[in-house]
Structure 1
Amino acid sequence: MSRNEPTILQQWQRVSRLPFGNWLFSRLIGLTVPYAATINARVLSLMPGSARAQMADRRAVRNHLRSIHAVALTNLAELTANLAIMSRQPAKGARWIVTGFDTEFVKKARGAVTALCEVGPLDWSQPQSLSGRVELRDAAGDIVMLATPRWKIGPDAAQA
């Protein structure tokens, strides 16, 4: 682990190799961001620029049509996107914030849904706006939702 490796990656590498490490890491995310805990998602993988998380289909996330609620899907997409951007964030001297989030619901989501977001290398030295893409797929591999997160990233003026 390098000194400027993103903190979230350091935490993932430490915890995920333990027995039930993915589950524990996911619970820790939920303690840090309580709203994210409402969908009970599990982080499946986290690498530089890539995050994958999954949400089970359960009554608590369903709508009146017996499919997964749009807001639960959006919550999974946001969690995954933010983990991906955090995996590119230097350990010190950088910050980010979500400035927008667009969603397109492609088909009813039933069963476990897996979200994937990949973010290329970023220049954190100057303030900038950027967008990403999150794909949510059902167990058959069909896309159920596409999301476009938008962030503002840049140097942390307080640490400059």
Structure 2
Amino acid sequence: MANQILDLWTKMQKVPAGKWLFSKMIGIKVPYTGSVKPRVQEIRPGYARAQIRDRRAVRNHLRSIHALAQMNLAEFVTGLAMTAQLPPDARAIITGLSIEYTKKARGTLTATCECEKITRITADREMIIESILTDEAGDVVSKAKATWRIGPKR
């Protein structure tokens, strides 16, 4: 059995507005993630890239993108990168999140994540995955680490 996230992503690339449709479907399936309206740009095993637009709904009182909107996007791409290579007989759950804010976040933000290759899953283990968020100028605005527990389905 193939990887469902990666299969769906690949199929959606063949239809008009496929990235938009895929992003919309993810937002419906995971409503909290959908609240920041991420736009998935790329997924491949162990890698994901997504963006959020700077809009009033994700801003704080300082007119910059809210810390939790950034964390939401960062966690989202770590999950995409990891699950895009997760074997069908494995499962994963996030167990920890941390983030460092380095610059006021304004404009469209892009989150990228590249994680280690997952091979056969025989026992539970933790995997720490980093996500980097950059602004339109390419400056890093935040760096997040997500701890995922992966293991065989029970």
Q: Give the SS at the match of 2:142.
A: strand
Residue in structure 2 matched with residue 139 of structure 1 by the alignment: 136
Residue in structure 2 matched with residue 87 of structure 1 by the alignment: 84
Runs of 4+ with deviation above 4 angstroms? none
User: 1: distance between equivalents of 2:146 and 2:110?
Assistant: 17
Quote the offset at 1:17 in angstroms: 2.3
Supply the RMSD in Å over aligned alpha carbons: 0.8
User: 1: distance between equivalents of 2:80 and 2:100?
Assistant: 20
Quote the offset at 1:144 in angstroms: 0.2
Q: Deviations over 1:68-100 (max 9, x none)?
A: 00000000001111101101111x211000000
Residue in structure 2 matched with residue 106 of structure 1 by the alignment: 102
Residue in structure 1 matched with residue 113 of structure 2 by the alignment: 117
Q: Paired residues, what number?
A: 153
Q: Deviations over 1:77-132 (max 9, x none)?
A: 01111101101111x21100000000000110000000001112113222101101
Match 1:129 to one of 118, 122, 126: 126
- Structure 2: state its 5+ residue gaps: none
Percentage of matched positions with identical amino acids: 46
Q: Mapping of 1:1-160 within 5 angstroms?
A: 3=1, 5-90=2-87, 92-123=88-119, 124-157=121-154
Quote the offset at 1:7 in angstroms: 1.1
Q: Deviations over 1:23-54 (max 9, x none)?
A: 00000001110111100110000011100000
Q: Give the SS at the match of 1:79.
A: helix
- Structure 1: state its 5+ residue gaps: none
Q: Give the SS at the match of 2:96.
A: strand
User: 1: distance between equivalents of 2:127 and 2:68?
Assistant: 23
Q: Give the SS at the match of 1:54.
A: strand
